[in-house]
């Protein structure tokens, strides 16, 4: 069997991270098995669907590193790949079900349907359809109405039996008899409904596996019935766990950004977001947390999904992003910072060597590109950041001696920046001439030259700070 999987977004908004996760799992399974990954656009909601959303969703998928083998812009043997262009196909299959006695024309008005619903509520029973048009004795009347030009919905005749789904994650799921009543396949407007389109397309496009969110499990009973009515075997179903926030509620905007576009705008790396989404409900066989999609293809299978809801943790995502960011070379980081740091920022006036040294020093401390900005500002700041520890160091007599020594040393320099060799020379000279060593020397030097009581190696940090700023810092210490 050739594996054929699909991702079927609705172009009514931006690509949700839950949808992106589903797309990633389908993509990986197709690649891992040598199968095909199909993009199918479910745009039958004509009022809300927009082509701009479709194009943006495709752009976001490709940004994440996900490409497809067949889709709206990659015609294959099973198109068209937009449901809005397949209406005649759905109508033909619905009419075939009517001819087999498995569906029927329904002329009930909205008022009649609402009255049925109210009666069911009063009688404390499910609001199932109980109209007359199901009965074969009204077949002839239905034909007359159609001939007269009246509009009718096509409604599925639900079999009175239970159904069983052997799901790849949920295991054996039993749907008891009478869970649903007769449901609409084609509306009286001629538009098909989701469950019918989905099944017809999966059958005609020869989809072998359906990997989707657990929230679609509620659609599965109706879809199993339609597969059976069409004389087709259902694909293997894999319903992956829901995404929830730390409060264990369904993921929403209050838990953070929910669209891929927003993560792009917040400068997350695509490989990091894809990596993190994979971890939400699936685990690496070697229990790795950091990987690329390419690294996953050889080990990805459907047996490592968890039934438990996946908690979406923004802090974990940032950590994953930081891990991927640190995998970039200093040259790659510098290239990225050209667009991530505002054009007017003084960073852009520095030499390439300075920028490379800056990335080398600070990349271990940033998780997003924007995190570099406070570090850059610290290089320009002459403020003495008072703290209990810093005040203690300032109270040492040796610190006052170091400050006077540094004032003299800085006054003689003509360069714009010191070098690591100059900093080493200061250390050696202070030790020799002032007799200061150990903690008093290193902490005194740090406080005088940086204005803080902790930080990176001075031989790496100070060559990134202009001598003018160093002078300003030291001058504040008496």
- Asked if 396 and 468 sit in the same domain, the reply is yes
The CATH number of residue 288's host domain is 3.40.50.620
Residue 201 inside a domain? The answer is: no
Lookup: tokens for 405: 């020594």
- Asked if 314 and 338 sit in the same domain, the reply is no
Residue 8 inside a domain? The answer is: yes
Is 240 within 8 Å of 25 (Cβ atoms)? yes
- Asked if 361 and 347 sit in the same domain, the reply is yes
SS3 category, 172 = strand
Residue 158 inside a domain? The answer is: no
d(CA 452, CA 443): 10
Lookup: tokens for 365: 């401390």
Which of 95, 111, 92 minimizes the C-alpha distance to 103? 95
| β-bridge pairing 4-7 and 36-39 | parallel
SS3 category, 155 = strand
Which of 166, 165, 228, 200 minimizes the C-alpha distance to 93? 200
- Asked if 58 and 1 sit in the same domain, the reply is yes
- Asked if 387 and 472 sit in the same domain, the reply is yes
Residue 15 inside a domain? The answer is: yes
| β-bridge pairing 310-311 and 243-244 | parallel
Residue 413 inside a domain? The answer is: yes
Residue located via tokens 């790949």:
81
| Element (DSSP H or E) covering residue 213 | strand 209-213
- Asked if 353 and 394 sit in the same domain, the reply is no
- Asked if 286 and 337 sit in the same domain, the reply is no
Instruction: For 416-458, give the DSSP string.
Output: SB--HHHHHHHHHHIIIII---HHHHHHHHHHHHHSSS--S-H
- Asked if 319 and 334 sit in the same domain, the reply is no
DSSP state of 307: S
Tally of CA atoms within 13 A in the half-sphere of 36 that contains its CB: 18
One digit per residue, the tens of pLDDT, for the chain of length 478 reads: 799 999 999 999 999 999 999 999 999 999 999 999 999 999 998 889 999 999 999 999 999 999 999 999 999 999 999 999 999 999 999 999 999 999 999 998 777 777 777 786 777 777 777 777 888 778 888 889 888 989 999 999 999 999 999 999 999 999 999 899 999 999 999 999 999 999 999 999 999 999 999 999 999 999 999 999 999 999 999 999 999 988 888 877 666 668 999 999 999 999 999 999 999 999 999 999 999 999 999 999 999 999 999 999 999 999 999 999 999 999 999 999 999 999 999 999 999 999 999 999 999 999 999 999 999 999 999 888 788 898 999 999 999 999 999 999 999 998 899 999 999 999 999 999 999 999 999 999 999 999 998 899 999 999 999 999 999 999 988 6
Count of domains in the chain? 3
Residue 218 inside a domain? The answer is: no
Q: Where a domain ends, among 326, 354, 369?
A: 326
Q: Which domain holds residue 270?
A: 1-72+241-326
d(CA 429, CA 280): 56
Asked, as a colleague might, if the bond just before 222 is cis with ω within 30 of 0, I would say: no
- Asked if 417 and 431 sit in the same domain, the reply is yes
Lookup: tokens for 76: 């294959």
Lookup: tokens for 271: 């490989």
- Asked if 353 and 395 sit in the same domain, the reply is no
Is 134 within 8 Å of 182 (Cβ atoms)? yes
Instruction: Provide the terminal-to-terminal Cα distance of the chain, rounded to the nearest Å.
Output: 81
Q: Where a domain ends, among 344, 362, 378?
A: 378
pLDDT on residue 135: 81
Which of 49, 86, 102, 109 minimizes the C-alpha distance to 190? 86
Residue located via tokens 């839950």:
18
Lookup: tokens for 87: 């209406």
Neighbours of 450 (CB within 10 A): 23
Is 157 within 8 Å of 100 (Cβ atoms)? no
pLDDT on residue 132: 76
Residue 202 inside a domain? The answer is: no
Q: Where a domain ends, among 316, 344, 378?
A: 378
Q: pTM of this prediction?
A: 0.90
d(CA 38, CA 72): 10
- Catalogue the active-site residues: 253
Q: Give burial (CB, 10 Å; 0-12/13-18/19+) of 218.
A: exposed
Instruction: For 76-135, give the DSSP string.
Output: -TT---BGGG-HHHHHHHHHHHHHTTSEEEE---HHHHHHHHHHHHHTTS------GGGS
- ∠ CA 441-445-451 to the nearest 5 degrees? 140
The CATH number of residue 451's host domain is 1.10.10.350
- Asked if 478 and 395 sit in the same domain, the reply is yes
Lookup: tokens for 290: 């950091």
Residue 189 inside a domain? The answer is: no
- Asked if 403 and 352 sit in the same domain, the reply is no
Tally of CA atoms within 13 A in the half-sphere of 247 that contains its CB: 8
């Amino acid at each position: 069997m050739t594996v054929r999987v699909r991702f079927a977004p609705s172009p009514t908004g931006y690509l949700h991270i839950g949808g992106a996760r589903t797309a990633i799992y389908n993509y990986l399974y197709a690649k891992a098995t040598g199968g095909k990954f199909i993009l199918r656009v479910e745009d039958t909601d004509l009022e809300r669907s927009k082509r701009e959303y479709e194009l943006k969703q495709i752009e976001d998928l490709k940004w994440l590193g996900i490409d497809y083998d067949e889709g709206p812009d990659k015609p294959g043997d099973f198109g068209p790949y937009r449901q809005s262009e397949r209406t005649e196909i759905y109508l033909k299959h619905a009419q075939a079900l009517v001819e087999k006695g498995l569906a029927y024309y329904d002329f009930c008005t909205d008022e009649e349907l609402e009255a049925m619903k109210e009666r069911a509520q009063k009688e404390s029973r499910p609001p199932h359809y109980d109209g007359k048009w199901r009965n074969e004795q009204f077949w002839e009347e239905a034909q007359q109405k159609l001939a007269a030009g009246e509009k009718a919905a096509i409604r599925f005749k639900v079999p009175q039996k239970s159904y069983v789904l052997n799901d790849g994650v949920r295991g054996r799921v039993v749907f008891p008899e009478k869970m649903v009543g007769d449901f609409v396949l084609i509306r009286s407007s001629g538009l098909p409904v989701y469950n019918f389109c989905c099944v017809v397309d999966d059958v005609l496009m020869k989809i072998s596996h359906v990997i989707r969110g657990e929230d679609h499990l509620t659609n599965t009973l109706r879809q199993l019935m339609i597969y059976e009515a069409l004389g087709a075997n259902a694909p293997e179903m894999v319903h992956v766990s829901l995404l929830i926030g730390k409060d264990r509620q369904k993921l929403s905007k209050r838990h953070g950004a929910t669209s891929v576009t927003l993560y792009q705008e917040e400068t997350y790396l695509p490989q990091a977001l894809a990596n993190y989404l994979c971890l939400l409900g699936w685990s690496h066989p070697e229990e790795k947390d950091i990987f690329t999609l390419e690294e996953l293809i050889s080990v990805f299978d459907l047996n490592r999904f968890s039934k438990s809801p996946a908690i979406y943790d923004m802090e974990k995502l940032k950590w994953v992003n930081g891990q991927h960011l640190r995998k970039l070379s200093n040259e790659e980081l510098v290239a990225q910072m050209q667009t991530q740091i505002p054009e007017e920022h003084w960073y852009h006036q520095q030499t390439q060597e300075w920028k490379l040294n800056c990335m080398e020093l600070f990349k271990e401390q940033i998780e997003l590109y924007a995190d570099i900005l406070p570090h850059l500002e610290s290089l320009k700041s002459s403020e003495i950041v008072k703290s209990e520890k810093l005040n203690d160091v300032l109270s040492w007599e040796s610190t006052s001696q170091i400050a006077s020594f540094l004032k003299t040393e800085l006054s003689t320099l003509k360069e714009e920046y010191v070098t690591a060799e100059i900093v080493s020379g200061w250390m050696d000279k202070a030790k020799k001439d002032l007799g200061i060593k150990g903690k008093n020397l290193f902490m005194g030097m740090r406080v005088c030259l940086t204005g803080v009581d902790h930080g990176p190696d001075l031989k790496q940090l100070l060559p990134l700070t202009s001598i003018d700023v160093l002078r300003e810092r030291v001058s504040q210490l008496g």
